[in-house]
A = this chain, B = another copy of it.
Amino acid sequence: NRPLLLIAGPCALESYELCARVAEKMAEICERLGLSYVFKASFDKANRTSLSSYRGPGLEEGLGALAKIRSQIGVPVVSDIHDFTQAKAAGEVLDIIQIPAFLCRQTDLLKAAAETGKPVSIKKGQFVSPWDMKNAVDKVRGGGGRNVMLVERGASFGYNNLVVDMRSLPVMRSFGCPVIFDATHSVQLPGGAGGSSGGQREFIEPLTKGAVAAGIDGLFMEVHPQPDKALCDGPNSLALDAVEQLLEKVVRIRNAVA
């Protein structure tokens, strides 16, 4: 019965000020609620739907901002890498290395992440069964990684839609890995808005509550002070001022199933 992990932040590393504001507020809420907080933002959105989408500040500037968040706000940080060349630099700054869902079978990326010595958090591919994620875990462990987490973020369900199959939670926990539920990417409608992805913010709460009760070790949430102005994933982001209320419910459910 370790405390629930909460990985949260804006989808993209839009600016240091924005990130600091989110990190500070989240740290404060998590402190009060007894959750273990990790700040997350991407320095590069390498697989946006279209070429004109915002990508972020890039590796160098992004890691700089994350290091500053880490030292100034005093919270651990996680971000995602997109090819093996980014692993070393990322491993020097980040507390957790995240592997994007589309890349969860890329052997070199998983091995490079493992070699950083940092915990590796692998998002389950939308096209991968829960039991096949064991192979991804083994790639990291085989590369020397001692600490692997898995993240459920929905499975392909027809076109432009994802479904959260909560059977995946116990299946993936059975590999001996903490399992995180990504409450906001799970409500994406991939490509569903033409040149970008749509989202169904109204389902963040029921799915989060459901996953906590079904049994998880952590939650992942994209949080933004003004989701409708977010440069990335706005339609499925949670408003910063709505987080606390949701997390209070999460804590109550977590205690009920403890």
Contacts and interface: CB of A to CB of B under 8 A. Distances in A.
Contact of A102 (B55, B102, B187): B102
A190 B212 CA distance: 28
B47 A132 contact: no
A213 to B, nearest CB: 3
Contact of A106 (B47, B165, B207, B252): B47
Contact of A157 (B48, B103, B106, B163): B163
Contacts of A215: 206, 209
Interface in A92-147: 102-103, 105-108, 125-132, 135, 138-139, 142-143
B142 A51 contact: yes
Contacts of A102: 102-103, 105-106, 125, 127
Interface residues of A, number: 66
A34 interface: no
Interface string A167-193: 101100000000000000001001100
A51 B106 contact: no
A253 B158 contact: no
Contacts of A211: 210
A160 to B, nearest CB: 6
Contacts of A167: 163, 187, 200, 203, 206-207
A68 interface: no
A169 B203 CA distance: 10
22 contacts: A48-B105, A49-B132, A50-B135, A50-B138, A51-B138, A51-B142, A103-B103, A126-B127, A129-B191, A131-B191, A155-B156, A155-B163, A157-B157, A158-B159, A158-B161, A159-B161, A164-B166, A166-B210, A167-B206, A209-B214, A210-B210, A213-B214
Given A125-B127, A157-B157, A166-B207, 14 more contacts: A51-B139, A126-B127, A128-B191, A132-B191, A135-B191, A158-B158, A158-B163, A166-B210, A167-B187, A209-B214, A210-B213, A213-B214, A213-B253, A256-B256
